[in-house]
Structure formats: structure tokens, C-alpha cells
Structure 1
Amino acid sequence: MTDSRAAIDVAYANASHIPGGMEYPARWAEAAAAFRERHPPEEIAYGAGARQRLDLFRPEGEAKGAVIFVHGGFWRAFDKSSWSHLAEGALAHGWAVAMPSYTLAPEARIAAMTREIEAAIGAVAEAVPGPLRLAGHSAGGHLVARMACADLSPPWRDRVARIVPISPLSDLRPLMGATMNDDLRLDREEAEAESPLLCEQVDLPMTVWVGAAERPAFIDQARWLAERRGCELVEAPGRHHFDVIEELAEPDSPLTETLLG
């Protein structure tokens, strides 16, 4: 491994810099499974692919609209079933919550994932009337931020009330030099086209969220996007890359209030 590749890998590494970092995926899966036992979701296919499925959690009574949460994992890991518990905050306020899976690298490239999330949100828009609120974490933060780029023109976009990219990757160009790019296969053209930082912007309400205790590279990525959008940047005190999303499970947390407010 070259020194430059090693440096980029370290800059974007999370688990090794978080106490007990390797334990988080099992904890997420356990909490998500317990939540699904209490609140069984409706599964909706938004395409023909094996991973083109989403879980839709409906509140009691008529939904105020729909929240769509797109998971992270550097576009290479996880699926909708790992995050179900994060629906609890918005559900408590009467919002439906959708969590899509999407085809991961190396099977799919990031440009294809962008189109899958666009289609997934379209399926949610058909299933739930009312406003749409988009949130995503890390790679998912990238994907929801892409929904505010002018090269996309989904018919549901005028229903988007807010987008909250959480610890988003907004400029993909640095990742071309990382080991993960063996799977992502980013070249210069795709890295530029798929970077929310570089795209022509659409005027949609956005708040960028990041943990104040995250790796400097993620704080930089969040700050760049907020500056490009001219929108609020929230640095959540004491939060790192793995626990920054936990507030979504809390009905009265600042993150839930920002997403729904």
C-alpha cells in the first residue's frame, strides 16, 4: 500500500478510532430486530433487483407524510434491516418512515445507487401522501444530498420539505485514492458527477449534521456541503460517526426535531 493510499484510508476510518467501534453493527442489528418485532413493517419492491426493497413503518392513524432514511456503510455494507429502530422518533410524531436497501459495490457503482434511491423515494411517495423528509447517514448522507442536484428531476421533488445529510460524503474525489475504491471503481468523471459538493444545486431546505467528535475528514466533508448550500451546519456535541444517528430513535431529540421541524 502506498503512503498516500494509507493516509486516505486512515482519514476515513471510523471503527478503529471509536471505543468499542467493532461492537456497533451487532448492537444496531439487535435493536433493529427488536423494533421490528414491535412494529412489523410493510415491505415494498421499488425495482426488480434483489436489494431494491424498502421497509415502510406506518404510524397509528393517518401519516403526516413520510421520512426516508438511507443507510451508510461506504456504499459497500448493511441493508434496511440494520436500522429499523431509528424509525421510532419520527413514528412517535405521526410520520411514516421508509428505509430502503440498495445494490452495493462492487455489484453496483455509485451512479446506479443514486438512481435506485431516486426510485425508492418515488415508491414511498406513491405509498404515502403528504410531504417527504429525507435523511441519510455517511454514504446515505451522500445519496440524499444527491437528491438536491439539478441533474435529477424526480416528480416527487416538490414534496420534499427538508433534507438532513448526516455525516455526509459530499466530495468523492478523495476516495479515488482509498483502498475502498477497489470496490467502488470511482474514476474522475463519476467522482465529479456524483459529488453533491460539485453539482448544480436545487433550492430545497437542507440542514447538514455531523458529530463534533468525528474524524476531521467527515467534519470537513459536512462543512464543505453546508457552505456550498448556504445552509445550517450542526456539529452535535460529543457525537462520533457511529452514535451521531442515535437521536433519530428519540422523539424529542434535536436531530429528530430538525428533521421534522
Structure 2
Amino acid sequence: MDLEAQYNNRALVPDHPAVMKRWRETAEAARAAHPPVQIAYGPGEREVLDLFEAAPGAPVAVFLHGGYWQALDKDWFSGLAPALLAHGVGLAIPSYDLAPAVRLGRIVGQVRQAVETIRARTGSRPVVFGHSAGGHLAACMLSEGRASAAVAISGIFDLRPLIPTSNNIALDLDEREAAALSPVFWPVPNGSTPGGTILDCVVGGDESPEFLRQSRMMADHWAANGVETRCDVLPGLNHFTVLDPLFEAESDLMRRIVDLTGATG
């Protein structure tokens, strides 16, 4: 199998710049309409998160952005806030440091700090959802008991196939480190784990066979070990347009995230 072709999503979706341009435009509009509170969760320049508050005491979901742990930041995804706010759910979006400036284990640690910052502010474990690299990070947070539920969209749960690809130039993973940072090999949350035991794996129907396999593998593995999982394949959506439903307040995916937060809006 040509793993480079399977995991090179920008090459697989030639019109991805147009989709990403929409992300930028909706993000700018959302920040203008709903200025977020910026919170530092650590001392670093990128250790900050934007919090779009719905109301005092309202649940907050945390979105973890993608970019293969080496691109993008919180400002690209503010456009997800209006759909959640329409249901009375707040949204937190952290940035984190990027490879190759830091190793992947450091990024996982930063996301851990960000999620714990929201947990301390709200008094409860948040629903965590993320895209691509963020899907990987969301599963990590659920495994550690830091999330009440996780929705991993186009996630990568076994990092070992990335080793021979160009994505690994910045990540510099070897077999040992890749396995150690793969949530498919992490402890499975169960009834004795503080936190949640619900994992949704969502993937676009037009994504590469490897991304489809990763989501099905993760859902099947954790389900076999007692986790409530589902694997939703969204027809006609690719690795970039798979986020489209998150901009729609009444989409099935947005409704699912809202339901997981326990909001009634």
C-alpha cells in the first residue's frame, strides 16, 4: 500500500484551499459576532485557548484542531462556535505548539492542560471533539478520563503507518514512540475509569481507505473492550468537507455533540 498517498490529504483533495478559505471566513465572522474570552492555559505563546461562552453554568465542548500536529491554530475554527451557541453550549478551542518545534508527546501534554483548564472552570469534564490530528488527541483525552465523551472526526489512532510518509519529517517518530503515542494501544476507558466511556469515530465516505480503516478499527477495538462506540461514515464528504456539518446547528453531527454535553437546547 502507498501510505504516502493514503495519508497525504491535501494531495487527495485538490480543492482543499477553497474549503480552508471558508474556515477562515466563518472564523472571522464568528469572532466579530461573538468575541471570545482568551485564556492562557500555560506560559507559552501558543498555550492559549478561545472560550466562546454560552451562558453562566452552560456546558462547554472543547474542539481540538488538526493539521498533522504541525499546522494551523485555534483562529481557523472559531466558525464552529455559532452552531453550538445556538444550542446553549459553549466552545473552547486551544492552540498548541507544533512539530518540529516540539515533539508529539509535548503536544499531548499541552492539550491535557487545556482540557483541565476548562474542567476547572466549569467543574465538570467536557465533551472533547477534534478533527484529524485533533481526533487523535480527543481519543487520548478520553482514555485518560479527562473527557465525558469524545467525538473523533477523521482521527488517526495508530500512528505507525505515518512513519514512512512525508508527514513524519516534522514528527520524527520511530516505531517505539509512534506506538506509545497511539491511543489504540492506550488503556480503554471503562466503568472504573473516572470520566466518560463514549467514543464516536466519524469519517468522510470519500476519505482514503486508511482513514476509513483507522476509524473502524478504533471503534471496534474499544467496543470490544466495553466502551460505547459508534463509527459514522458520512457519505460524499472528504477529509476537509467532513467538518461541514459542524457549521450547521441542526445537522445530525452537531445534534450528537450537543446531546453528549447534556444540553437541552
TM-score (norm 2): 0.89
Aligned counterpart for 1:256 among listed residues 250, 254, 257? 254
Partner of 2:90: 96
Partner of 1:36: 31
1:177 matches 2:164: yes
Kindly report the root-mean-square deviation, in angstroms, between the aligned alpha carbons of the 2 structures: 1.5
Partner of 1:111: 105
Cα distance in structure 2, aligned partners of 1:210 and 1:171: 15
1:52-131 correspondence to structure 2 within 5 Å: 52-59=47-54, 61-131=55-125
CA contact (8 A) 1:63 1:96 kept: no
CA contact (8 A) 1:65 1:129 kept: no
Once the two structures are superposed, residues 68-119 of structure 1 have per-residue CA deviations (whole angstroms, 9 ceiling, x without a partner) of: 0000001110000000001222111111100000000001111111111110
Cα distance in structure 1, aligned partners of 2:125 and 2:167: 36
Unaligned runs of 5+ in 1: none
SS at match of 1:202: coil
- Which residue identity lines up with residue 105 of structure 1 in the other structure? A
Cα distance in structure 1, aligned partners of 2:7 and 2:94: 24
SS at match of 2:91: strand
C-alpha displacement of 1:218: 0.8
- Which residue identity lines up with residue 180 of structure 1 in the other structure? N
C-alpha displacement of 1:161: 2.8
Cα distance in structure 1, aligned partners of 2:58 and 2:251: 19
Partner of 2:9: 14
Aligned counterpart for 1:168 among listed residues 155, 159, 162? 155
Cα distance in structure 2, aligned partners of 1:256 and 1:11: 28
- Which residue identity lines up with residue 41 of structure 1 in the other structure? P
CA contact (8 A) 1:54 1:120 kept: yes
CA contact (8 A) 1:88 1:248 kept: no
Partner of 2:262: none
Cα distance in structure 2, aligned partners of 1:69 and 1:54: 10
Partner of 1:214: 207
Aligned counterpart for 2:222 among listed residues 229, 233, 247? 229
CA contact (8 A) 1:63 1:95 kept: no
CA contact (8 A) 1:64 1:131 kept: no
- Which residue identity lines up with residue 111 of structure 1 in the other structure? G
CA contact (8 A) 1:8 1:177 kept: yes
Once the two structures are superposed, residues 37-59 of structure 1 have per-residue CA deviations (whole angstroms, 9 ceiling, x without a partner) of: 00100000001111111000011
CA contact (8 A) 2:26 2:79 kept: yes
Partner of 1:49: 44
CA contact (8 A) 1:212 1:240 kept: yes
C-alpha displacement of 1:237: 1.4
Once the two structures are superposed, residues 156-207 of structure 1 have per-residue CA deviations (whole angstroms, 9 ceiling, x without a partner) of: x3xx332100000000001111112111011122111110111121132111
- Which residue identity lines up with residue 163 of structure 1 in the other structure? A
Structure 1 residue ranges (4+ consecutive) displaced by more than 3 angstroms after TM superposition: none
Once the two structures are superposed, residues 131-172 of structure 1 have per-residue CA deviations (whole angstroms, 9 ceiling, x without a partner) of: 5111000000000101123xx46xxx3xx3321000000000
